[in-house]
Amino acid sequence: AKHEGRNGYRFFTTEMQTRSERQLQLVNALSQALEREQLTVHYQPQISVINGRIVAAEALLRWYHPELGQVSPAEFIPAAEDSGLIIPIGEWVLRQAVRQARKWMLDGLDPMIIAVNLSAVQFRHSDLPNLVTRILDEEGLPAEYLELELTEGVAMHDTQNAVAVMNNLHARGVRMSIDDFGTGYSSLSQLKKFRIYKLKIDQSFVRDISTDPEDKAIVSAIIHMAKSLGLQTIAEGVETAGQLAFLREQGCDEVQGYYYSRPLPAQQFEEFARAKAMV
Ligand code: C2E
Ligand code: CA
Ligand code: CA
Ligand code: CA
C-alpha cells in the first residue's frame, strides 16, 4: 500500500507540474494574442421558441495560435482569469461585440441583442459600469441592446458588491442574465435580489431531456419557477428536434445550440440571419 501511495503521489505531482507548465505557456502566448491579432469573436444565435426568429447573438471568443493551434476558451479563459489578462481581453471582446451589433443594426439586420460573457474577475476588479457605458457611447449602441451573461458565482461571491454593480448597470439600461444556471449553488429565490431578466439553463441538463426523466423534471421546474418570478428562460446546447419539442411544451422562451447553428464568424452569422429573416 505504501508503494502504491508513493506512486500515486509521484503521478499526481507530475501531472500537476505538466498542468502548470501548460498554464504558463498559455499565459505567455495569451499575453501577446491581442497585439498579434490572434483573437476573434464568433456569434451564436439565440432563437425564439415561439416564432423561430433570432432574438440575440452570443459573442464567443476564439483564439488561434500559430503553434498551439486553436485553443478552447474552456482552457484559456481560466488562464486569462488567473493571470489578470481577462481584463484587457474582456474589454476587447466587449468592444468588438458592441461594434459588430451596431454595424449589423446599420446594415439593416432585424434588431437583436448582443450577449457578452463576463468573468467574475471583470465584475470585481474593474469599474465595470463606467467601462460598459463608455464602450456603448463610443460605438453608438443603445444600452438595451447589450446583455451581460454572468455566472451564478458572480452574484453569489460578493453579494453586496454584486447587487450594487448590477443595480448600477440596470439603471443604465443594460440587461443581465445568469449563465449556466443550475450548476452553481444559488436558488431562484436568492436570485430575486439581482437585476436579471433571463436564466440560461445549463446544457448539462438539456443534453438528455428527451430520455432522462430527472433532467426533464429539473428543466421543467426551472422554467416554471422562472416564469412565476417573471424571468425569461433560454436553454443552451439544444441539438435535436426532440429537445426543442420538450422545451416548447414546457414554455421555454428561447433556445441556443447546434440544432439551429454553431457559433459563426461575423460574416457567416450575418448570412444566417438574412436567410432566416426571409422565411
Ligand atoms: P458558455 O458561455 O456556457 O458558452 C456556451 C458554450 O457551449 C460555447 O462553448 C458554445 O460553443 C457551446 N455550444 C453552443 N451550442 C452547443 C450545442 O448545441 N452543443 C454543445 N455541445 N455545445 C454547444 P465555447 O465557445 O467553447 O466556450 C466555452 C466557455 O468559455 C463559455 O461557456 C464561456 O464560459 C467561456 N467564454 C467564451 N468566450 C468568452 C468571453 O468572451 N469571455 C468570457 N469571460 N468567457 C468566455
Ligand atoms: Ca455564456
Ligand atoms: Ca452557458
Ligand atoms: Ca459554460
Alpha carbons 31 and 84: distance in angstroms, whole number: 10
- Ion ligand 3, residues whose Cβ is below 5 A away: 179-180, 236
Letter string b/e over residues 11-30, b meaning 16 or more CB atoms within 10 A of that residue's CB: eeeeeeeeeeeebeebbebb
Q: Rounded to the nearest whole angstrom, what is the distance from the C-alpha of residue 60 to the centroid of ligand 1?
A: 6
For 159-171, the DSSP string reads HHHHHHHHHHHHH
Question: Running DSSP on this structure, what letter comes out for residue 110?
Answer: P
Q: Which residues line ligand 1 (CB under 6 A)?
A: 44, 60-61, 72-74, 77, 90, 93, 117-119, 179-180, 203, 236-239, 257-258, 263
Which ipTM was obtained for this model?
0.98
Question: How confident is the model over 211-235, as pLDDT tens digits?
Answer: 999 999 999 999 999 999 999 999 9
Give the model's confidence band at 148: pLDDT under 50 very low, under 70 low, under 90 confident, else very high.
very high
Looking at this protein, which amino acid is placed at residue 85? L
Ligand 4 center–CA 73 separation, angstroms:
10
The number of the ligand 1 atom at minimal distance from the alpha carbon of 119 is 44
Q: Which residue has the cell 434588431?
A: 111
| pLDDT, tens digit, 9 for 90 and up, residues 116-132 | 999 999 988 778 999 99
pLDDT at 159: 78
Q: Give the percent of the chain with pLDDT over 70.
A: 94
Q: Hey, whose CA ends up nearest to atom 25 of ligand 1?
A: 60
pLDDT tens digits, one per residue of 183-204: 887 777 778 888 899 999 999 9
Give me the residue label for grid cell 419557477: 225
Q: Give the pLDDT confidence of 42-70 residue by residue, as tens digits.
A: 999 999 999 999 999 999 999 999 999 99
